[in-house]
Amino acid sequence: MAIRNLRLEGDEILKKKSREVEKIDERILTLIDDMIETMHKYNGVGLAAVQVGILKRIIVIDLYDGNGPIAMINPVIIKTKGEVEVEEGCLSFPNKFAKVKRPEQVTADFLDLEGNTIRVKAKDLLAQAICHEVDHLNGEVFVDKMIPGTLEYVESEEDEK
Protein backbone atom coordinates (compact mmCIF):
# COMPACT_ATOMS: atom_id res chain seq x y z
CA MET A 1 0.00 0.00 0.00
CA ALA A 2 1.10 3.54 -0.66
CA ILE A 3 0.04 7.10 -0.07
CA ARG A 4 -0.89 8.69 -3.39
CA ASN A 5 -0.45 12.38 -4.24
CA LEU A 6 -3.68 14.33 -4.01
CA ARG A 7 -4.72 16.46 -6.97
CA LEU A 8 -5.59 19.91 -5.68
CA GLU A 9 -7.82 22.83 -6.64
CA GLY A 10 -6.95 24.13 -10.09
CA ASP A 11 -5.75 20.75 -11.41
CA GLU A 12 -7.51 20.18 -14.76
CA ILE A 13 -8.02 16.45 -14.08
CA LEU A 14 -10.62 17.29 -11.40
CA LYS A 15 -12.92 18.60 -14.16
CA LYS A 16 -12.69 15.42 -16.27
CA LYS A 17 -15.26 12.62 -16.38
CA SER A 18 -13.99 9.26 -15.09
CA ARG A 19 -14.32 6.05 -17.10
CA GLU A 20 -16.04 2.84 -16.03
CA VAL A 21 -13.89 0.05 -14.63
CA GLU A 22 -14.06 -2.80 -17.16
CA LYS A 23 -12.24 -5.42 -15.13
CA ILE A 24 -11.45 -5.68 -11.42
CA ASP A 25 -7.86 -6.85 -11.44
CA GLU A 26 -4.81 -6.62 -9.18
CA ARG A 27 -4.09 -3.02 -10.32
CA ILE A 28 -7.61 -1.89 -9.40
CA LEU A 29 -7.43 -3.61 -5.99
CA THR A 30 -4.03 -2.00 -5.30
CA LEU A 31 -5.43 1.39 -6.32
CA ILE A 32 -8.35 0.92 -3.90
CA ASP A 33 -5.98 -0.04 -1.05
CA ASP A 34 -3.85 3.03 -1.80
CA MET A 35 -6.93 5.26 -1.94
CA ILE A 36 -8.11 4.04 1.48
CA GLU A 37 -4.64 4.60 2.95
CA THR A 38 -4.45 8.09 1.38
CA MET A 39 -7.95 9.01 2.61
CA HIS A 40 -7.04 7.92 6.15
CA LYS A 41 -3.72 9.80 6.11
CA TYR A 42 -5.55 13.05 5.37
CA ASN A 43 -8.52 12.22 7.67
CA GLY A 44 -10.99 12.26 4.79
CA VAL A 45 -14.44 10.70 4.79
CA GLY A 46 -14.30 9.93 1.07
CA LEU A 47 -11.96 9.90 -1.89
CA ALA A 48 -12.50 9.45 -5.61
CA ALA A 49 -9.85 7.93 -7.89
CA VAL A 50 -9.68 11.16 -9.91
CA GLN A 51 -8.40 12.90 -6.77
CA VAL A 52 -5.25 10.77 -7.00
CA GLY A 53 -5.01 11.32 -10.76
CA ILE A 54 -6.75 8.15 -11.99
CA LEU A 55 -9.81 8.62 -14.24
CA LYS A 56 -11.61 5.46 -13.10
CA ARG A 57 -15.08 5.31 -11.55
CA ILE A 58 -13.94 4.24 -8.07
CA ILE A 59 -14.71 5.85 -4.72
CA VAL A 60 -13.87 4.93 -1.15
CA ILE A 61 -15.75 6.12 1.94
CA ASP A 62 -15.10 5.68 5.65
CA LEU A 63 -17.50 7.13 8.21
CA TYR A 64 -15.18 6.04 11.07
CA ASP A 65 -18.18 4.32 12.66
CA GLY A 66 -16.51 0.98 13.29
CA ASN A 67 -17.76 -0.57 10.03
CA GLY A 68 -14.53 0.12 8.15
CA PRO A 69 -14.10 1.64 4.71
CA ILE A 70 -16.36 0.91 1.72
CA ALA A 71 -15.01 0.71 -1.82
CA MET A 72 -17.53 1.39 -4.59
CA ILE A 73 -16.66 0.54 -8.18
CA ASN A 74 -18.76 2.14 -10.95
CA PRO A 75 -21.24 3.68 -8.48
CA VAL A 76 -24.52 5.00 -9.88
CA ILE A 77 -27.08 6.98 -7.89
CA ILE A 78 -30.43 5.60 -8.98
CA LYS A 79 -32.78 7.42 -6.59
CA THR A 80 -32.72 10.42 -4.28
CA LYS A 81 -35.18 11.64 -1.66
CA GLY A 82 -35.49 14.94 0.16
CA GLU A 83 -32.99 17.76 0.38
CA VAL A 84 -30.77 19.07 3.17
CA GLU A 85 -28.26 21.87 3.49
CA VAL A 86 -24.92 20.50 4.68
CA GLU A 87 -21.41 21.80 5.19
CA GLU A 88 -18.77 20.15 3.04
CA GLY A 89 -15.06 20.17 2.62
CA CYS A 90 -12.85 18.26 0.21
CA LEU A 91 -9.35 16.81 0.36
CA SER A 92 -8.66 18.47 -3.02
CA PHE A 93 -9.61 21.87 -1.53
CA PRO A 94 -7.66 21.91 1.75
CA ASN A 95 -9.12 24.06 4.53
CA LYS A 96 -12.07 25.21 2.41
CA PHE A 97 -15.64 24.60 3.51
CA ALA A 98 -19.01 25.64 2.10
CA LYS A 99 -22.71 24.86 2.40
CA VAL A 100 -24.18 22.62 -0.31
CA LYS A 101 -27.67 21.23 -0.93
CA ARG A 102 -27.65 17.43 -1.05
CA PRO A 103 -30.33 14.73 -1.09
CA GLU A 104 -31.35 13.52 2.36
CA GLN A 105 -31.31 9.92 1.13
CA VAL A 106 -29.83 8.15 -1.87
CA THR A 107 -30.06 4.68 -3.35
CA ALA A 108 -26.96 3.66 -5.28
CA ASP A 109 -25.77 0.58 -7.15
CA PHE A 110 -22.08 -0.32 -7.35
CA LEU A 111 -19.71 -3.25 -7.75
CA ASP A 112 -17.85 -4.59 -4.74
CA LEU A 113 -14.26 -5.90 -4.85
CA GLU A 114 -15.45 -9.26 -6.19
CA GLY A 115 -17.55 -7.68 -8.94
CA ASN A 116 -20.92 -8.32 -7.26
CA THR A 117 -23.62 -5.68 -7.77
CA ILE A 118 -24.59 -4.13 -4.45
CA ARG A 119 -27.47 -1.75 -3.78
CA VAL A 120 -27.12 0.59 -0.84
CA LYS A 121 -29.75 2.86 0.67
CA ALA A 122 -27.93 5.66 2.43
CA LYS A 123 -28.90 8.65 4.51
CA ASP A 124 -27.15 11.42 6.42
CA LEU A 125 -23.34 11.49 6.10
CA LEU A 126 -23.14 8.35 3.93
CA ALA A 127 -25.63 9.80 1.43
CA GLN A 128 -23.73 13.09 1.42
CA ALA A 129 -20.38 11.32 0.89
CA ILE A 130 -21.73 9.18 -1.97
CA CYS A 131 -23.10 12.28 -3.72
CA HIS A 132 -19.88 14.25 -3.19
CA GLU A 133 -17.65 11.44 -4.51
CA VAL A 134 -19.92 10.56 -7.47
CA ASP A 135 -19.79 14.26 -8.40
CA HIS A 136 -16.00 13.91 -8.58
CA LEU A 137 -16.39 11.02 -11.02
CA ASN A 138 -18.48 13.33 -13.22
CA GLY A 139 -15.90 16.13 -13.14
CA GLU A 140 -17.84 18.23 -10.62
CA VAL A 141 -16.43 19.63 -7.38
CA PHE A 142 -18.31 20.89 -4.34
CA VAL A 143 -17.42 24.55 -4.92
CA ASP A 144 -19.37 24.32 -8.20
CA LYS A 145 -22.48 23.47 -6.17
CA MET A 146 -21.98 25.61 -3.10
CA ILE A 147 -24.59 28.03 -1.88
CA PRO A 148 -23.22 31.48 -2.85
CA GLY A 149 -21.57 33.35 -0.01
CA THR A 150 -20.94 30.28 2.18
CA LEU A 151 -17.31 29.51 1.26
CA GLU A 152 -14.99 29.71 4.26
CA TYR A 153 -11.25 29.23 4.56
CA VAL A 154 -10.17 27.69 7.86
CA GLU A 155 -6.50 28.02 8.70
CA SER A 156 -4.77 24.80 9.64
CA GLU A 157 -1.98 24.47 12.18
CA GLU A 158 0.53 24.23 9.30
CA ASP A 159 -0.67 27.62 7.95
CA GLU A 160 -0.01 29.27 11.29
CA LYS A 161 3.63 28.15 11.45
Catalytic residues: 133
Asked whether 90 and 96 are in contact (CB, 8 A), the reply is yes
* Helix, coil or strand: residue 79: strand
At 32, the amino acid letter reads I
CA angle 11, 141, 113 (to 5 degrees): 95
**Torsional class of 76: left (φ above 0), alpha (ψ -120 to 50), beta (otherwise):** beta
* Helix, coil or strand: residue 144: helix
